[in-house]
Amino acid sequence: MGVTIFSPRTMIPIDDLTCLILIDFLSSILASLLTCWHLPTTVQVIIELVPPDVVEGENVLLLVRNLPENLEAFVWYKGVTNMNLGIVLYSLDTNLRVEGPEYSGRETVYRNGSLHLQDVTQKDTGFYTLRSINRHKEIISTTSIYLHVYSFLWSCGPLSTSAQPTIESVPPIIPEGGSVLLLVHNLPENLRSLFWYKGMIVSNNFEVARHIITMNSSVLGPAHNGGETVYSNGSLLLHNVTWKDTGLYTLRTLSTDMKTELAHVQLQMDTSLSPCCNPLNSSQLMIQPIPQYAAEGESVLLQVHNLPEDLQAFSWYKSMHSALVLKIVEYSRAMNSTTWGSAHSRREAVYTNGSLMLQDVTEEDAGMYTLEILNRDFKIDKADVHLHVNSK
């Protein structure tokens, strides 16, 4: 027997199966699934912002690629963890669209899963989540993306509200053999010299290159591999990168008043972007902060890539060191249990795909985070990421 759904715009008869999906959507039953997130590892839904940078008053398309086949419906949400914030549900069988509480009338949804936002404002800034539902009413993919709406575009790179130097990896993730620019923002005006190091340790043995401002000259260090170029604005260009080049890089600036400042950046590589590499052969554990630069009060997702399938457990630490006092959380796949550690601030959410969500971040949250995983053969692997938080 069919059911009639009344909306402010239409009265549409739908079938019982679609109604059940709508009930899940409108009553937020789906929110409980966050605690038992068992998604197939073969589903690789990708969301791309077109254009990648958008200003108030412009339009932006959240372009979806690789949407799973044989779907019953998909749902767009505003945010990551709060499933009450539904934007729109789309039933593929009936071409039915149902608006949620976050629908503003400026959104258009397409059968391929993409979402178009018109006349965006800064209030539209934040995470957007797409969930796909199969014919058994099971969620088979969940993908999030962060949209930042600028009040204006800064011609010299992303606008930072902090005078402290920051580094942006352009692009954020690169293929093997590609080039990447470690772009520096907020370089001190009274700069005397700057130094680049491979890793977190400021030591001559790990120096990649240095640039002397007064002499306008650059000198390569013992940690260089022959493919680096350092510029007077502090930025470092790396050519023909390999897996050996991935990891942390540190910039040290020295001012004319002999003041020293440090900034860090994570260089990440994805073999799925390389035409000569098979991504299935890659086991490199990687972490990507989304967004890369967060302001106080925002949420940041430390998104994990290439989590091993034979995982027994994983732990997150607020440091580069795996000390018990610095543990944020531990997840056991065998027990499907989560244990919070001493460094838990009650603002974190952990997911079974390894990713960690930090909500309402402050400058105190900035720094290094370490993911430690334990495989079934008791092999331990680690990955680090540096979180940047700019004060308002």
- Distance of alpha carbon 297 from alpha carbon 360, whole angstroms: 4
**What does the pLDDT look like over 291-350, one tens digit per residue?**
777 788 888 889 888 888 888 999 999 987 777 888 999 999 888 889 999 899 989 988
Q: What are phi and psi of 118, to 5 degrees?
A: -105, 150
Q: Residue 211: pLDDT above 70?
A: yes
Class of domain 166-269: mainly beta
As a whole number, the mean pLDDT across the chain is 78
- Classify burial at 31, counting beta carbons within 10 Å of its beta carbon; exposed 0-12, middle 13-18, buried 19 or more: middle
Continuous segment of H or E residues that includes residue 109:
strand 107-109
pLDDT of residue 81: 67
Q: Which residues contact 220 (CB under 8 A, 6 or more apart)?
A: 208, 209, 228
List the structure tokens of 190. Answer: 């009274």
Pairing of strands 217-220, 166-170: unpaired
Q: What is the mean pLDDT of residues 21-38?
A: 41
Domain with CATH 2.60.40.10 in the chain: 3-150, 166-269, 283-390
Q: Residue 128: pLDDT above 80?
A: yes
Continuous segment of H or E residues that includes residue 50:
strand 46-50
Q: Residue 97: pLDDT above 70?
A: yes
Higher pLDDT, 328 or 27: 328
- From 2.60.40.10, 3.40.50.10330, 1.20.120.640, 1.20.120.140, which CATH number describes the 3-150 domain? 2.60.40.10
Confidence of residue 377 (pLDDT cuts 50, 70, 90): confident
Q: Which residues contact 136 (CB under 8 A, 6 or more apart)?
A: none
Q: List, as own/partner pairs, every contact residues 39-45 make where C-beta atoms lie below 8 angstroms and the sequence separation is at least 24, other chains included.
A: 39/139, 39/140, 39/141, 39/142, 39/353, 40/140, 40/141, 41/309, 43/68, 43/132, 43/140, 43/141, 45/113, 45/130, 45/132, 45/141, 45/143
Homologous superfamily of 283-390 in CATH? Immunoglobulins (2.60.40.10)
CA distances from 343 to 287, 318, 330, 340, 375 (A): 19, 7, 11, 8, 24
